[in-house]
């Protein structure tokens, strides 16, 4: 491996942070997820050989996020749910209305959409990263996209054409 970990972390922190924000829809969780991903990568850097370290980091991030979601599902009912709304701040290149829209999606829908549109993965690749079937990925993409369209339409970010919707978000 030609690159040392410090160079990798410096080059990948911003892209990973943007991806984490798309996954979590929360800037604080995005920072935590990015830091944990880089920590895991750093632990394995000298011992493992990564063909594509950036792709592997995103796989680590998706799996850490799935673990985070499962942990929250167990903990939040015990704590009575979230105590306050976290203000929405933009991390990376996401527009504020899109961050707001992503926050309305389920975690699985957000993950599937982030892998599809941020990482440009196909259904098979998304299923492999999420550890689910291709059918599940297709339904999550479909439902998530429809919810984003509804949100965009309500906020005036989706144009109407004669008899059909413009599918640009």
pLDDT number for residue 85: 42
Contact 5, 53 (CB under 8 A): no
Q: What is the pTM of this model?
A: 0.62
Q: Cα–Cα distance between 162 and 166 in angstroms, integer?
A: 9
- Provide the residue-wise pLDDT of the chain in tens; the chain has 169 residues: 457 899 999 999 999 999 999 888 888 999 999 999 999 999 998 888 788 899 999 999 999 998 888 777 666 554 444 444 434 443 455 677 777 788 888 888 988 988 888 788 899 999 988 888 999 999 999 999 999 888 888 877 665 544 445 444 4
Q: Cα–Cα distance between 148 and 101 in angstroms, integer?
A: 6
Q: Cα–Cα distance between 95 and 138 in angstroms, integer?
A: 25
Looking at 53, 73, 92, which one is the last position of a domain? 92
Q: Cα–Cα distance between 68 and 60 in angstroms, integer?
A: 12
Task: Assign residue 17 the CATH number of its domain.
Answer: 1.10.1740
Q: Cα–Cα distance between 87 and 79 in angstroms, integer?
A: 20
Instruction: Specify whether 52 is located in the same domain as 128.
Output: no
Looking at 92, 123, 153, which one is the last position of a domain? 92
Task: Assign residue 124 the CATH number of its domain.
Answer: 1.10.10.10
Q: Encoding tokens for residue 46? A: 């000298």
| SS3 at position 160 | strand
In what helix (H) or strand (E) does residue 107 lie, and over which residues does it extend? helix 107-113
Count up the domains in the chain and report the number.
2
Instruction: Specify whether 4 is located in the same domain as 40.
Output: yes
Instruction: Specify whether 13 is located in the same domain as 80.
Output: yes
pLDDT number for residue 92: 52
Instruction: Specify whether 79 is located in the same domain as 23.
Output: yes
Looking at 59, 74, 92, which one is the last position of a domain? 92
Instruction: Specify whether 105 is located in the same domain as 137.
Output: yes
Segments forming the whole domain that contains residue 117 = 95-169
Instruction: Specify whether 5 is located in the same domain as 80.
Output: yes
């Amino acid at each position: 491996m030609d690159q040392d970990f410090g160079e990798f972390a410096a080059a990948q922190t911003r892209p990973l942070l943007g991806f984490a924000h798309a996954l979590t829809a929360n800037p604080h969780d995005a920072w935590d997820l990015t830091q944990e991903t880089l920590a895991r990568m750093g632990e394995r850097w000298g011992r493992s050989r990564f063909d594509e370290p950036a792709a592997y980091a995103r796989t680590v991030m998706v799996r850490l996020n799935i673990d985070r979601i499962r942990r929250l599902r167990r903990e939040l009912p015990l704590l009575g749910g979230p105590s306050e709304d976290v203000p929405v701040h933009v991390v990376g290149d996401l527009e504020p209305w899109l961050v707001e829209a992503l926050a309305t999606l389920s975690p699985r829908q957000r993950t599937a959409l982030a892998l599809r549109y941020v990482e440009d993965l196909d259904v098979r690749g998304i299923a492999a990263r999420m550890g689910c079937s291709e059918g599940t990925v297709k339904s999550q993409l479909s439902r998530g996209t429809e919810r984003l369209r509804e949100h965009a339409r309500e906020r005036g970010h989706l144009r109407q054409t004669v008899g059909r919707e413009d599918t640009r978000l």
